Amino acid sequence: MKKSTIFVVLALVLTACGGGGSSSSEESFVSGDGSATYIKSSDRKIAPAITGITLSGQNYTYPRNKVAVVNVWASWCSPCRAEAPTLVALANKYTDVAFIGILTRDNPANAEAFERRFKIPYPTLIDDSILLGFKGSLPANAIPTTVVLDRKGRVAARISGVVTIASLSELIEKVSAE
């Protein structure tokens, strides 16, 4: 009887420590539905300074004189992998627009492999504390999230979830035409 009681207590303790699942980042992220939000010019707020060290070790600062597409991603995020070819195609199409990645909840080695695999042509910053600065406007509420900034460095639009050629092209063209 004593051995069985110890076994039951030990089993309960071990299963309680497991939490019933994994604690990986991929299981704890929130995926968006691809919905786009556009903010009229008079209601826009200034984006935070987008500056820091890139995955390649270079210093980068977004110049607030051009339209920008800021994509928040992680290498373990399957929707991020799904949208990567679209972002690459649009970055190559809209060469007058600054494309910038912000790595979140990931490690640089995996992110570098992701960039090589998808041939990402734009810089990715490794300081996701930048995301806190979007809190007063359109925060990155999912992974991936893509924010479009106007020429004055203000948040003009956000796509929460995977971008499509049509959805992001429409926002880029709308904001660029202003």
pLDDT of residue 141: 67
Q: From CA 166, how far away is CA 26, in angstroms rounded?
A: 27
Give residue 7's region: left, alpha or beta (phi > 0; psi -120 to 50).
alpha
Characterize the bridge pairing of strands 155-160 and 145-149.
Answer: antiparallel
Which regions of the chain are under pLDDT 70? 1-34, 136-141
Q: Tell me the pLDDT of the chain averaged across its residues.
A: 81
Q: CA separation (Å) from 161 to 4, 15, 39, 101, 145?
A: 51, 35, 18, 14, 5
pLDDT of residue 35: 72
Q: From CA 111, how far away is CA 125, in angstroms rounded?
A: 11
Q: From CA 117, how far away is CA 69, in angstroms rounded?
A: 21
Q: Which 3 state secondary structure label does DSSP give 118?
A: helix
Q: What are the pLDDT digits (tens) for 47-99?
A: 888 999 999 999 999 988 899 999 999 999 999 999 999 999 999 999 999 99
pLDDT of residue 34: 66
From the candidate CATH numbers 3.10.450.50, 3.40.30.10, 3.40.50.300, 3.30.70.380, the one assigned to the domain spanning 35-176: 3.40.30.10
DSSP string over 119-133: T--S-EES-GGGGGG
Q: Which two tokens stand for residue 1?
A: 């009887």
pLDDT of residue 32: 60
Q: Which two tokens stand for residue 110?
A: 């995996």
Q: What are the backbone dihedrals phi and psi of residue 152, each rounded to the nearest 5 degrees, phi first?
A: -95, 5
Domain residue extents for the chain? 35-176
Q: CA separation (Å) from 64 to 59, 114, 148, 152, 153?
A: 16, 27, 12, 6, 5
pLDDT of residue 120: 96
Q: From CA 56, how far away is CA 123, in angstroms rounded?
A: 8
